[in-house]
Structure 1
Amino acid sequence: MYLGMYSFRGDPAELLAGHDRMLALLPAGQLELHLCLQTEDGIAVLDTCPNREVFDRFSSGQGFRELVAAAGLPRPEVQHLGEITSYVLPPGVAA
């Protein structure tokens, strides 16, 4: 599993609302591990894909650009974080 980060700069309250709109546009069950956090200058979204190739294709694709625009979000800065080698979830939570 590959982890990437999208940094959206701007008013955090507006960006968080846009992130909620973006999630509402996605089919249920599409995301495996997805985190959104408020930063000093906006929000950061950490998102997983099966591998880097899929992340590259998705993050640079027209579909992603259209999704971001439909949610009213600015174009993000995309950062490659790397392959996830392990993670721990609370008991009873499945990934």
Structure 2
Amino acid sequence: MYLGMYSFRGDPAELLAGHDRLLALLPQGQLDLHLCVQTKDGIAVLDTCPDREIFDRFSGSRAFQELVASAGLPRPEIQHVGDVKSYVLPVERTA
């Protein structure tokens, strides 16, 4: 699994609303590990793909640019973070 980061600069409140619109445009279950973090100058979205090649293909695609524009987000700065070696998610507990 490969982790990349999209940095969107601008008003965090507007960018967070755009991120919500972007998520609403995606088919249910398409994302494996996806985080959105408010930063001092906007938001950072950390997103995984099966590998770097797929991340590069997706992040450089016209479809991605159109998705971002449809959500009302500016063009992001794209950064390569690296291969995910491990992660921990909480176990869901039932009452």
Tell me which stretches of 4 or more aligned residues in structure 1 moved more than 4 Å.
none
Aligned length: 93
Shift of 1:89: 1.1
Shift of 1:91: 1.6
- Runs of 5+ unmatched residues, structure 2: none
Sequence identity percentage: 77
1:19-38 correspondence runs (5 A) = 19-38=19-38
Output one character per residue of 1:47-92: Cα deviation in whole Å (capped at 9) or x when no partner.
0000000000000000000000000000000000000001111123
SS of alignment partner, residue 67 of structure 2? helix
1:54-93 correspondence runs (5 A) = 54-92=54-92
SS of alignment partner, residue 43 of structure 2? strand
**Structural RMSD (CA):** 1.0
Output one character per residue of 1:9-63: Cα deviation in whole Å (capped at 9) or x when no partner.
0000000000000000000000000000100000000000000000000000000
Instruction: From the CA coordinates, give the structure whose radius of gyration is larger.
Output: 2
Taking the aligned partners of 2:84 and 2:92, their CA distance within structure 1 comes to: 21
**Match of 1:43?**
43
Taking the aligned partners of 2:68 and 2:90, their CA distance within structure 1 comes to: 31
Per the normalisation by structure 2, the TM-score is 0.96
- Runs of 5+ unmatched residues, structure 1: none
